[in-house]
Amino acid sequence: MQDTPLEMRGTVTASAPSQAFLMGEHAVLYGSPALALSVDRRSFSSARELDRGHIRIRSHLLGLYEEERGSIVRDNPELEKLAVGVREILERYGVRSGVELEIRSEVPIGSGMASSASVAAAISKSIDGLFELGMDENELLESVYVFERIIHGKASKTGPACAVMGGVIWVEWMGDLMTAESLGFKDVPLVMACTGKPSPTKEMIERVSSLGSLLPGVRDSVVRAISELVVKGRDAIMTGNYELLGMLMNIDQGLLYSLGVSSWEIERIVWKARESGSYGAKLSGAGGGGCVVALHPQPSSLAEELRSVADMAFPARVAREGARLESKSGDRS
């Protein structure tokens, strides 16, 4: 890190995309691979240097959190979790300053679109740019993964990888290590439809964990079945066989239903999407609420159809880029 005077750093703004989880939710926490898409609905973070020990986080959705030298000045339980991750970055890279962050996001909270990972990646990238830390892609990914574990407890690298890398995301296990990579860009005909009901990620993760305690053989059988689907799904998306990919997604939705993570709100969108000619439709993310992801040859037409049963529906573009710097301005004072 270059030792640039505080008043010279100005403001750095960064952004990061969100997620459409195609296949492998929940199962990825038990050894399965996962397949997802980076979606070009982005979160933005503007970072400005403050005095040492001072962290201030403003969110247009969640309000204000502020602490000075370990004492909370303005409390906000949701933003406090982000502050823990921010402190971890500053300490890990030996930054001898505080930081102010202004966050805005196009990603619905609790939607299954990995809004927290999108925000965390934008924060990490803006701090990296402000203090010239020189984070490479893997360091940025690990930074976002730290935020995810702080926020959700047990978490996969799927959302962080979507936020950091862009394109088609592949997650798999190498022994005890979860790895993630981008398989490149594919122009997938995608629609996201949100239930309007938040997805309680921790609760859904605990539900699947409890099922494993009660019926370990059953849950493990479902995980193995999902794993087989995910591997076939990778081949289908890379060859552009969206009819096959949709069929695999439909089967995956049935298996997720059996794990207890679907809901009436999700199912009515899923079935409306299928009745409207989708190749496939399923929940995206933890489930219980949140969003449905659907493949359709005419995304705009499907989005219009789904607005009759969804709180919000829109064609979703696959993001070519992951986390990126947007701008760097002079001192705002």
Q: Which stretches does DSSP call E strand in the chain?
A: 11-23, 34-50, 54-59, 63-68, 71-74, 98-105, 168-174, 177-182, 190-194, 280-284, 291-295, 312-316, 324-329
pLDDT at 14: 98
Tokens of residue 206, six digits: 């605990």
pLDDT at 109: 83
pLDDT at 9: 60
Classify residue 307 as left (phi > 0), alpha (psi -120 to 50) or beta: alpha
| Domain edges within the chain | 6-185, 190-316
pLDDT at 5: 44
- Predicted TM-score (pTM) of this structure: 0.90
φ/ψ of 222, rounded to 5, equals -65, -45
pLDDT at 330: 64
For domain 190-316, give the fold: Alpha-Beta Plaits (3.30.70)
pLDDT at 200: 87
6-185: CATH, from 3.40.640.10, 3.90.650.10, 3.30.230.10, 3.30.710.10: 3.30.230.10
Equal fold, 6-185 vs 190-316? no
- Find all residues with CB under 8 Å of 10, minimum gap 6, and list them: 48, 328, 329, 330, 331, 332
pLDDT at 108: 86
- Render each residue's pLDDT in the chain as its tens digit; 333 residues: 444 444 446 899 999 999 999 999 999 999 999 999 999 999 999 999 999 989 999 998 889 999 998 789 899 988 999 999 999 999 999 999 999 999 999 998 878 898 999 999 999 999 999 999 999 999 999 999 999 889 877 778 999 999 999 999 999 999 889 999 999 999 999 999 999 999 888 899 999 999 999 999 999 999 999 999 999 999 999 999 999 999 999 999 999 999 999 999 999 999 999 999 999 999 998 999 999 999 999 999 999 999 999 999 999 999 999 999 998 886 443
How many whole angstroms separate alpha carbon 226 and alpha carbon 254?
10
**Dihedral over Cα of 164, 169, 170, 171: its sign:** positive
CA distances from 296 to 123, 170, 275, 283 (A): 33, 22, 11, 15
